[in-house]
Amino acid sequence: MSQSRVYLFIVAFAVVELSGCVTNGIRTNETAFSNSRDFEARFAAAKIKDKDAEIAKYIVTQARRIRTAAMPCVASMPLGSTQIFRFVADISPDGALSDIQTDQESPLTACFRRHISSLSLAPPPKVPFVFGARINMLAESGF
């Protein structure tokens, strides 16, 4: 009897100082697909490496929480399928996620945005805090 396994890999980045990056001129709590320059600017800025150990620890622990929240989306994938996408979100001082964007649109990325939008993370070590990540979702069978 074969088993099925699902995987969700997160390569996470964060930036703690980001100015002037807004969606259509305003900050929003809505989630959206975006291939705009705004997304690219926010994601590129999130790749800035901060050598602060507290921030590095925060990124790792919160990436795990995002992974757990998104697992129902991975579990709904057809076996043998893979999807890779990027996302970026602002994290408020109280840990709420807002302005969640993905770089592509699919039922899977919509599910991902929906599941993480209700997630409450730990308060970030510094504000403003922008979290960006490359997400690899994989559903395999035959193990």
Tens of each residue's pLDDT in the chain, 143 residues? 444 455 556 555 444 333 223 333 333 334 455 445 588 888 877 766 556 788 888 888 898 899 888 888 888 888 888 888 999 998 999 999 999 999 999 999 999 999 999 999 999 988 888 888 888 888 776 44
Q: Determine the pLDDT at residue 49.
A: 54
Task: Give Cα 113 to chain centroid, integer Å.
Answer: 8
Q: Determine the pLDDT at residue 29.
A: 38
Q: Determine the pLDDT at residue 92.
A: 93
C-alpha–C-alpha distance, residues 93 and 39, integer Å = 21
C-alpha–C-alpha distance, residues 48 and 131, integer Å = 11
Q: Determine the pLDDT at residue 25.
A: 30
Order of all β-strands in the sheet with 32-33? 4-15, 129-141, 82-91, 97-102, 32-33
**Residues shown for the chain:** 143
The residues that bridge with 50 in the sheet, in sequence order, are none
Q: Determine the pLDDT at residue 4.
A: 46
Q: Determine the pLDDT at residue 48.
A: 61
Contact 128, 90 (CB under 8 A): yes
Q: Determine the pLDDT at residue 43.
A: 82
Q: Determine the pLDDT at residue 37.
A: 58
